[in-house]
Structures are given as structure tokens and as C-alpha cells.
Amino acid sequence: MITRDSEHIRVEGHYGTWHVIDDGWYALTPDVNGEPKTYRVHCFLLEHDEYGDEAASVIVDQDVRLLLEDVCNGFDDLLEAGWVVADGE
């Protein structure tokens, strides 16, 4: 589990280590078996430790599950992917 102070984070399928540059609560409401179900997730925007802002960022959840890769516009890219801002925990 990561927090906003986590460093040297490993992301499956991605080279090197990452650190948190922003976090926030977001929600996604897909249809699950024909019923809408809302998932609230504490999301973390990560920057690569070695390449910094020269590389695209990634967004993961608190369990370091990849939610979005090739992020260039921060959480705006998550919103474009259909997520919405949710109230904090």
C-alpha cells in the first residue's frame, strides 16, 4: 500500500522506480452484470525516479495497481478516460 509520501515504488510492467507527485480520490461507475456499480479509488500520480518529467507518468491505486499509463496531463487524463472526482475518504 502506498501513501502520498511513498518513494521508490515499483509498477508492474514498467521499468525502474517511481515517486508520488499528486494524489486524489476518483470514481468510476461501470455496468457490472447490467447494474451500475461505483468504485471509489485513492489514486496516485507517479513520476519516474530516473527520467522525471522527461517520461510519461502513470496513475496507480493505493495497492499499486496500474489504472492509466502514458499520462501527460496529470489527473486530467484520468478524467478523459471516464473517471470523475470523488469526495475524499
Q: Report domain extents, the chain.
A: 18-80
Say if CB 29 and CB 16 are below 8 A apart: no
pLDDT at 16: 97
Reported as type and span, the H/E element at residue 78 is helix 75-80
Beta bridge partners of 61: 43
Q: What is the pLDDT along the chain (89 residues), one digit of tens a residue?
A: 999 999 999 999 999 999 999 999 999 998 878 888 899 999 999 999 999 999 999 999 999 999 999 999 999 999 999 999 997 66
* Residue 85 to residue 7: CA distance in whole angstroms: 25
| pTM attached to this predicted model | 0.92
pLDDT at 88: 66
